[in-house]
Each structure stands twice: as structure tokens, then as C-alpha cells.
Structure 1
Amino acid sequence: MYKLEEFKQLVKDFSDVADFLVIYIEEAHSTDGWSFENNVDINQHKSLEDRLSAAQILLQKEPLCPVVVDEMDNSAAIKYGALPERLFALQAGKVVYKGGRGPWDYNPMELRAFLQKIK
């Protein structure tokens, strides 16, 4: 959520050259786990219904693109090494840009530079 506005600006600026998708994965900083002050109040997901409910909080922030939810086996997060967050660009089914793992290496400006090259 910290850099959601930067992500939304990417969607606005590059929707003519890219389709955007958010995959909501396991909650990295759950209230009943390792949380930060002023964090969103979300407990660790015990069921798919919990995860779907938590994804609604993100949808209320209007990410400007579709949001899907990872399965409870965390297959998408595991495949892409995305915990807690990560940016990717795919072209013809292949990863052409892989950003660093968040929160410290989550860098929407780096993805912006990549997208500007292909625009």
C-alpha cells in the first residue's frame, strides 16, 4: 500500500502499452503476526475467504487494474518469489523485467524506465 499511488500512476501512463494485474498474495505483515505501526488491520489468512476479504481492502483503494487472489498454497508467490511484493513485466508469456523484492527493493520508478524503453 505504501507505493500504491506510484503504481497507479504507472497504470495511467502505460496502459496503452501494457496490461496491468495485481496478484494479492499472503499477508506479509498481518496484525496477528509481524506487523508495523499504522499498518492495515489484516489477520493472517486461514482460508481463501479470508484472503478474498482482505483483497477487498486493496480494491477500495482503486488500483486501476484487475486484482486476482493467489491460492492458499501460495503458488503464484512461490513461483515469482514475490513475498511480500514484487513487480514483473511479461511479454509473450516470458518474464522480461523482474523487479527487486519489496519493501526495500520494490521500485515502481525502475519499472517506469523499463516501460518507457518499450513504449
Structure 2
Amino acid sequence: MYKLEEFKQLVKDFSDVADFLVIYIEEAHSTDGWSFENNIDIKKHKSLEDRLSAAQILLQKEPLCTVVVDEMNNAAAIKYGALPERLYVLQAGKVVYKGGRGPWDYNPMELRAFLEKIK
């Protein structure tokens, strides 16, 4: 959520050259686990229903793109090394951009520079 506004600006600026998708994965900082003081109150997902419910919080922030939810076996998070967050660009089924792992290396501005090159 920390850089959601930057992400939303990417969606606005580059929706003519890219389709955006958010995959909501396992909560990295659940309030019943390792969390920050200012965290949104999301507990560790024990079921798909828990994960779907938590994703509703993101949807309320209107990410401006489709949001899907990872399976409880965390298949997408594992495949893309996405915990806690990561940006990717795929073209014709191949990864052409892989951003750093969040939160410290999650960099929407770096993705912006990449998208500007392919625009």
C-alpha cells in the first residue's frame, strides 16, 4: 500500500501499452505475525476466503487494474519470488523486466523508465 499511488500513476500513464494485473499474495506483515505499528489489520490467511477478504481492502483503494488472488499454496509468489512484492513485465509469455524485491527494492520509477522505452 505504501507505493500504491505511484503504481496507480503507472496504470494511468501506460495503460495504452501494457495490461496491468495485481496478484494478491500471502500477507507479509500480518498483524498476528511480524508487523509494523501502522499496519492495516490483516491477519495471516488461513483459508482462501481469508485471502479474498484481505484483497477486498486493496480493491477499496481502487488500484485501477484487475486484482486476482494467489492460491493458498502460494504458487504465483513462489514462481515469481514476489514476497512481499515485486514488479514484472511480460511480453509474449516471457519476462522482459523483473524489478527488485520489496519493500526496499520495489521501485515503480524504475518500471516507469522501462515502460517509457517500450512506449
State how far apart, in whole Å, the 1-side matches of 2:56 and 2:84 are. Answer: 18
SS of residue matched to 1:54: helix
Give CA deviations for 1:21-43 in whole Å, capped at 9, x if unaligned: 00000000000000001111000
Q: CA deviation at 1:46?
A: 0.1
Equivalent residue number for residue 18 of structure 1: 18
State how far apart, in whole Å, the 2-side matches of 1:91 and 1:31 are. Answer: 36
Q: Give the structure-1-normalised TM-score.
A: 1.00
SS of residue matched to 2:68: strand
Give CA deviations for 1:41-85 in whole Å, capped at 9, x if unaligned: 000000000000000000000000000000000000000000000
State how far apart, in whole Å, the 1-side matches of 2:40 and 2:95 are. Answer: 31
Matches within 5 A, 1:36-51: 36-51=36-51
State how far apart, in whole Å, the 2-side matches of 1:46 and 1:73 are. Answer: 11
SS of residue matched to 2:54: helix
Give CA deviations for 1:2-28 in whole Å, capped at 9, x if unaligned: 000000000000000000000000000
Q: Tell me, which stretches of 5 or more residues in structure 1 are unaligned?
A: none
State how far apart, in whole Å, the 2-side matches of 1:92 and 1:76 are. Answer: 18
Stretches of 4+ moved more than 2 A in 1?
A: none
Q: Tell me, which stretches of 5 or more residues in structure 2 are unaligned?
A: none
Matches within 5 A, 1:1-119: 1-119=1-119
State how far apart, in whole Å, the 2-side matches of 1:110 and 1:69 are. Answer: 25
State how far apart, in whole Å, the 2-side matches of 1:114 and 1:40 are. Answer: 31
Q: Give the structure-2-normalised TM-score.
A: 1.00
CA RMSD, Structure 1 to Structure 2 (Å): 0.2
State percent identity of aligned pairs.
Answer: 92
Aligned length, in residue pairs? 119
